[in-house]
């Protein structure tokens, strides 16, 4: 193994993936791309194994190998030509959820296909029963938007016009979707062009050998990390609070982590049967969540590629909340169930790895989606908006405050951009006092965003969680704060839940409520659980929390025995 060349090549490829992401960010139309960065760019070899990836959205990083491999099962290598771009979003054949669109473009060198440039991005509007793609009341996939099997959106460098027309005829915002789809193609174009240059510089054989070495190197390092963890079977169960259809039913995510030498097997047997509502995860999500959890517990300097995933296996019985069967709905599986699976795996491993796990995080993206007709232009607008949460306390530090959930790594859209792009006024955006679970290391806090509707009408839907089940603490740490969604109708003083105001089954999952001019919506995001006995928290840390407003004087007294001046 030529370690120097391997390191140079690995860094070059990762930089290229980051550059692909920057192109996507700068050329896209939607805030979900140019502000939230809800995408991932990578490179794959001709077998679909990921050889490099940029550090964008972890849910998509783990999902990428299965996505590309699934496509190659249906479009054989011999049918892929130079200049083709393949598009795919089908959740039942390797995909993550309907909005997640995967593009990949073959990299040809001297007539031979060497691999693929890949971009996965969350398209904000995909058709279906609700603007913005997250229909909290969907009961089948057909309500969740357009499902795209692996198809060539470009053939030999030319647009496949029929595919474009079909895609854009089925969404509410064709102009914006066109821009976002073009941005994804621009990303894979760049990846293909630059990777071809890299092949020309080093030669095909040298890169083939070096990439093989790189995957083996990642695998070896991952196995060494896993070997250091005590062997055993580690169980844990967590619950999703409802599916939006039956508000009184909870859904178990059951994990058994089997650690054997340098291998780890995550067995989800015993998880609840798939739900009627859209909280089901696909196999891609269940696999990606296991990878995500293991990456969080191991050395971050291990190169991220399919090599480091080789020691990880997933058992996700079909027809369950972690491996949905056609045609059940699935859109919330990737945003809500994914982080709950990661949390369950971290909870399972917390006894063996107390220094590398954490208490439960908020584990929701809030997924407040909306759309309507802009009064000034008459054009339809739609937005997928994600919000941040508090993370769990750790054995060595407080949880992060106001950070996107563990599978997103996304940014929240700045207030100024939000107000410019959409007819809302953000009246306040502030951290929630007492939302971080008490502990030796406090859970992170979520926040409250209050918005005033400035359009005649905005149609809103949501798919969130943690309105009923608070994030759990670890080692004596207390629960984190719950989330909430409240509405104040114009001319009224009281705040109501969506259930109260619009007769919805669930407060956290609903579709198509009409928010009118002058109505206000308040999104409260959950905090994280605390870690360790609160009585062991340093007095200085409690005093600072009270001074900064993270903890009230009453809670300081109740949980920490601290009397604030």
Partner 1 sequence: MKFSQTGLYIESYSKCANCGVLIYEGDAEDARRMKRDDGKLYCSQECVDWKNDREKRKAAK
Q: Which stretch binds partner 1 (CB under 8 A): 23-31, 91-99, 135-143, 474-482?
A: 91-99
Shortest gap between Cβ of 326 and partner 1 (angstroms)? 5
Element (H, E) at 184: helix 174-202
Q: Which stretch binds partner 1 (CB under 8 A): 32-40, 109-117, 179-187, 311-319?
A: 311-319
Shortest gap between Cβ of 511 and partner 1 (angstroms)? 26
Selected from 38, 144, 225, 267, the binder of partner 1 by CB under 8 A is 267
- CB-nearer residue toward partner 1: 119 or 285: 285
Shortest gap between Cβ of 97 and partner 1 (angstroms)? 16
Q: What's the number of CA atoms in the CB half-sphere (13 Å) around residue 165?
A: 3
Shortest gap between Cβ of 250 and partner 1 (angstroms)? 22
Shortest gap between Cβ of 288 and partner 1 (angstroms)? 13
Q: Which stretch binds partner 1 (CB under 8 A): 317-325, 360-368, 423-431, 523-531?
A: 317-325
- CB-nearer residue toward partner 1: 3 or 166: 166
CA 201 to centroid of chain Cα atoms: 36
Q: Which stretch binds partner 1 (CB under 8 A): 18-26, 241-249, 316-324, 556-564?
A: 316-324
Query: Strand 112-122 and strand 151-155: pairing?
Result: unpaired
Q: Which stretch binds partner 1 (CB under 8 A): 40-48, 89-97, 433-441, 484-492?
A: 89-97
Selected from 3, 8, 228, 269, the binder of partner 1 by CB under 8 A is 269
CA 59 to centroid of chain Cα atoms: 5
Element (H, E) at 372: strand 368-373
Name which of 68, 152, 60 is nearest 115 in CA terms: 68
Q: With b meaning 16 or more CB within 10 Å and e meaning fewer, what string describes 241-251?
A: bbbbbebeeeb
Selected from 155, 182, 208, 313, the binder of partner 1 by CB under 8 A is 313
- CB-nearer residue toward partner 1: 179 or 270: 270
Q: Which stretch binds partner 1 (CB under 8 A): 109-117, 314-322, 343-351, 504-512?
A: 314-322
Residue 424: beta bridge partners? 453
Q: What's the number of CA atoms in the CB half-sphere (13 Å) around residue 521?
A: 25
- CB-nearer residue toward partner 1: 314 or 459: 314
* Per rule CB under 8 A, count of chain residues that contact partner 1: 19
- CB-nearer residue toward partner 1: 117 or 322: 322
How buried is residue 428: exposed, middle or buried, by Cβ count under 10 Å (0-12/13-18/19+)?
A: exposed
Selected from 83, 174, 179, 317, the binder of partner 1 by CB under 8 A is 317
Q: What's the number of CA atoms in the CB half-sphere (13 Å) around residue 200?
A: 11
Site string for partner 1, 214-253 (x = CB under 8 A): ----------------------------------------
Name which of 69, 101, 64, 87 is nearest 155 in CA terms: 87
* Ordered DSSP codes for 131-182: TTS--TT--SGGGS-----SEEEEETTEE-HHHHHHHHHTSS-HHHHHHHHH
Residue 354 touches partner 1, criterion: CB under 8 A? no
Residue 152: beta bridge partners? 86
Q: What are phi and psi of 151, to 5 degrees?
A: -135, 155
Residue 327 CB neighbours (<10 A): 14
Selected from 93, 97, 338, 442, the binder of partner 1 by CB under 8 A is 93
Residue 140 touches partner 1, criterion: CB under 8 A? no
Shortest gap between Cβ of 282 and partner 1 (angstroms)? 10
- CB-nearer residue toward partner 1: 70 or 194: 70
- What strand order describes the sheet that includes 85-88? 50-53, 39-45, 112-122, 100-109, 85-88, 151-155, 158-159
Distance, CA of 104 to CA of 66 (rounded, Å): 13
Residue 396 touches partner 1, criterion: CB under 8 A? no
Residues, the chain: 565
CA distances from 304 to 11, 30, 137, 196, 216 (A): 11, 28, 36, 21, 12
Positions 47 through 86 that interact with partner 1 (CB under 8 A): 70, 73
- CB-nearer residue toward partner 1: 184 or 316: 316
Distance, CA of 103 to CA of 68 (rounded, Å): 9
Helices assigned H by DSSP within 350-502: 415-421, 498-502
Shortest gap between Cβ of 317 and partner 1 (angstroms)? 6
Map 253-272 to HEC letters: EEEEEEEECCEEEEECCCCC
- CB-nearer residue toward partner 1: 105 or 259: 259
Residue 316 touches partner 1, criterion: CB under 8 A? yes
The residues, ordered by sequence, that sit 6+ positions from 212 with a Cβ below 8 Å of its Cβ are: none
Shortest gap between Cβ of 243 and partner 1 (angstroms)? 20
- CB-nearer residue toward partner 1: 328 or 542: 328
Residue 286 touches partner 1, criterion: CB under 8 A? yes
Name which of 509, 523, 529 is nearest 240 in CA terms: 509
- CB-nearer residue toward partner 1: 8 or 269: 269
Site string for partner 1, 246-265 (x = CB under 8 A): -------------------x
Shortest gap between Cβ of 318 and partner 1 (angstroms)? 4
Shortest gap between Cβ of 331 and partner 1 (angstroms)? 19
Shortest gap between Cβ of 132 and partner 1 (angstroms)? 27
Positions 318 through 337 that interact with partner 1 (CB under 8 A): 318, 323, 325-326
Shortest gap between Cβ of 274 and partner 1 (angstroms)? 11
Q: What are phi and psi of 415, to 5 degrees?
A: -55, -45
Q: Which two tokens stand for residue 349?
A: 């491993």
Interface with partner 1 (CB under 8 A)? 70, 73, 92-94, 265, 267, 269, 283, 286, 313-318, 323, 325-326
């Amino acid at each position: 193994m030529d370690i120097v060349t391997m390191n140079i090549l690995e860094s070059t490829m990762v930089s290229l993936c980051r550059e692909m992401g920057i192109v996507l960010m700068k050329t896209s139309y939607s805030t979900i791309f140019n502000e939230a960065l809800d995408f991932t760019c990578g490179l794959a070899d001709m077998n679909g194994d990921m050889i490099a990836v940029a550090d964008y959205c972890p849910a998509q990083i783990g999902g990428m190998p299965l996505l590309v491999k699934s496509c190659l099962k249906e479009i054989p290598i011999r049918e892929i030509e130079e200049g083709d771009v393949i598009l795919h979003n089908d959740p039942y054949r390797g995909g993550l959820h309907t909005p997640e669109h995967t593009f990949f473009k073959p990299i040809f060198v001297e007539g031979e296909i060497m691999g693929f440039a890949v971009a996965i991005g969350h398209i904000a509007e995909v058709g279906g029963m609700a603007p913005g793609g997250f229909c909290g009341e969907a009961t089948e996939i057909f309500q969740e938007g357009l499902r795209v099997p692996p198809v060539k959106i470009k053939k030999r460098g030319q647009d496949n016009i029929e595919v474009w027309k079909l895609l854009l005829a089925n969404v509410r915002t064709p102009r914006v979707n066109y821009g976002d789809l073009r941005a994804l193609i621009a990303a894979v174009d760049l990846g293909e062009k630059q990777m071809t240059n890299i092949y020309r510089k080093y030669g095909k054989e040298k890169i083939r050998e070096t990439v093989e070495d790189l995957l083996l190197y990642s695998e070896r390092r991952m196995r060494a990390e896993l070997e250091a963890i005590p062997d055993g079977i580690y169980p844990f169960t967590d619950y999703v609070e409802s599916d939006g259809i039956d508000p009184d039913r909870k859904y178990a995510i059951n994990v058994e982590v089997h650690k054997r030498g340098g291998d780890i097997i995550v067995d989800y047997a015993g998880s609840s049967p798939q739900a009627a509502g859209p909280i089901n995860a696909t196999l891609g999500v269940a696999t990606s969540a296991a990878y995500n959890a293991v990456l969080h517990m191991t050395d971050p300097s291990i190169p991220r590629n399919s090599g480091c995933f080789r020691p990880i296996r997933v058992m996700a019985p079909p027809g369950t909340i972690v491996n949905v069967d056609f045609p059940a709905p699935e859109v919330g599986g990737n945003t809500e169930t994914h982080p709950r699976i990661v949390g369950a795996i971290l909870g399972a491993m917390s006894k063996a790895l107390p220094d590398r796990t954490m208490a439960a995080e908020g584990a929701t993206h809030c997924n407040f989606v909306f759309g309507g007709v802009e009064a000034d232009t008459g054009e339809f607008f739609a937005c997928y908006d994600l919000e941040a949460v508090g993370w769990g306390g750790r054995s060595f530090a407080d949880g992060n405050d106001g950070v996107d959930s563990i599978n997103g790594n996304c940014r929240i859209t700045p207030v100024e951009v939000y107000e410019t792009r959409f007819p809302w006024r953000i009246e306040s955006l502030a951290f929630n006092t007492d939302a971080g679970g008490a502990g030796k290391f406090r859970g992170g806090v979520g926040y409250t965003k209050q918005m005033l509707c400035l359009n005649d009408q905005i149609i809103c839907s949501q798919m969130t969680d943690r309105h009923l089940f608070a994030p759990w603490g670890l080692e004596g740490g207390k629960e984190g704060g719950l989330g909430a969604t409240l509405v104040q109708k114009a001319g009224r003083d009281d705040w109501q839940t969506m259930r109260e105001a619009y007769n919805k089954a669930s407060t956290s999952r609903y579709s198509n409520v009409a928010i009118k001019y002058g109505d206000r919506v308040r999104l409260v995001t959950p905090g994280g659980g605390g870690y360790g006995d609160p009585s062991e928290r340093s007095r200085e840390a409690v005093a600072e929390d009270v001074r900064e407003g993270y903890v009230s004087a009453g809670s300081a007294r109740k949980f920490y025995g601290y009397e604030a001046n």
